């Protein structure tokens, strides 16, 4: 059985600037109170959000 959990996590360093929301080609990051939430069904793991985050608040998890 494959897991739908994406290999990404948003840390407390997130300031909710919204750059990741605008950058994600799959719209896998959704606005939420405090910081964006990640829709695991949409995330393809392209890592565009990691590249654009000015706070390095999005981290790739080990598989």
Q: Identify whether 23 is part of a domain.
A: yes
pTM of the model: 0.83
Q: Is the pLDDT of residue 1 over 80?
A: no
- Kindly give the pairing relationship between strand 58-60 and strand 8-10: antiparallel
Q: Identify whether 2 is part of a domain.
A: no
Indicate the number of domains in the chain.
1
Q: Reduced to 3 DSSP states, what percent helix, strand and coil does the chain have, rounded to the nearest 5?
A: 15, 15, 70
Q: Is the pLDDT of residue 9 over 60?
A: yes
| pLDDT 10s digits, 28-47 | 999 999 999 999 889 988 89
> d(Cα 63, Cα 41) in Å, to the nearest integer?
17
Q: Identify whether 52 is part of a domain.
A: yes
Q: Which domain holds residue 33?
A: 8-60
Q: Identify whether 55 is part of a domain.
A: yes
Q: Which two tokens stand for residue 49?
A: 């959000």
Distances (CA, A) of 11 to 2, 20, 40: 25, 13, 16
């Amino acid at each position: 059985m494959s897991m739908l959990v994406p290999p990404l996590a948003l840390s407390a360093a997130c300031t909710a600037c919204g750059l990741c929301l605008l950058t994600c080609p799959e719209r896998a990051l959704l606005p939420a109170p405090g910081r964006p939430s990640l829709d695991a069904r949409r995330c393809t793991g392209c890592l565009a959000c990691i590249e654009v985050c000015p706070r390095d608040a999005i981290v790739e998890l080990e598989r």
